Chain A
Amino acid sequence: MSEAPTKIVVDCSTGETQIIPLTAEEITQRETDAAAYATAQAEREEAEAATAALKASARAKLIAGTPLTEAEAAVLVI
């Protein structure tokens, strides 16, 4: 059986530090936060990869003298 997750709480008025088990609500919140962040991070990385691919394609077409798509032009010209 794994240990219950805990939190370190520092009371700034007394300087006392305590290690307290997370409540069920806090555990659920933590899992929700982690899932939300993982989703957002994956979306961000996907968008960054797509932009990088568009830039690479646009550069190659510019060098080759071939027409760019609207999306390729958009990543080069602001």
Chain B
Amino acid sequence: MPILGTVASQFSSNPFGSYESIASATGTGASGVITFSSIPATYKHLQIRGIAKDTYAGAFELPTRVRFNSDTGNNYTMHNLNGNGTTVTAQGDATGTNAFFKFRGSNLSTDATYANMNGVSILDIIDYADTSKYKTVRGFSGSDRNGAGNIFLISGLYLSTSAISTITLTADGTNWTTSTTFALYGIKG
């Protein structure tokens, strides 16, 4: 039983050290692509936490396109479950037809209906540096829009055994606004 005043000294320098911040990036309003490069292979898993809005003017909730290692081949598959408060829908991709993950509902457009509102997302990339298996992805995303809203549960598979060292997040509309931030975390196993 720790004695008050000595608790801190009983932990290492990273006492609850499951998560460590690796990097973060904020939109500029003039770039539609955010890339995390040279990701160290020293963690067990990765997590991206995002709050996103892009400069597209239409009234849409938009996906974030996620790509690993700049791989533009059809090596990404996904299933998702979507609830909007009334209706639940599910969708799955056909085999090997996608050149990126469509991280649905993670991003809102700049339409006036969505003023001051962003989409939010959490994306886990499991065993990202393991070269003996394909990479599993799971995600949560969505937005509440004061009377409307969506939530998405997402599972995905990246059909590659290569360690992931680069992650690219592309706005489906035009550019990431300055209210957009993506933060990359490493998770120790």
Complex Cα gap A40–B34 (Å): 23
Q: Is the CB of B38 closer than 8 A to any CB of chain A? A: yes
Q: Decide if A7 touches B31 in the complex (CB within 8 Å).
A: yes
Binds A, one of B20-28, B118-126, B132-140, B150-158: B20-28
| A76 CB–B CB distance under 8 Å | no
State whether the Cβ of B37 lies closer than 8 Å to any Cβ in chain A.
yes
Q: Which residues of B are interface residues toward A (Cβ below 8 A)?
A: 22-25, 27-28, 30-40, 63, 65, 72, 89, 91, 99-100, 102, 168, 170, 172, 175-176, 184
B184 surroundings in chain A (CB, below 8 A): 10, 12
Q: Which of chain B's residues have a CB closer than 8 A to the CB of A48? A: 89
By secondary structure, the A interface counts as: mixed
Query: Does any Cβ of B come within 8 Å of A70's Cβ?
Result: no
Interface residues of A (CB under 8 A from B): 3, 5-15, 17, 19, 22, 26, 29-30, 32-34, 36-37, 40, 44, 48
**Chain B contacts of A34 at CB under 8 A?**
172
CB atoms of A29 and B72 under 8 A apart: yes
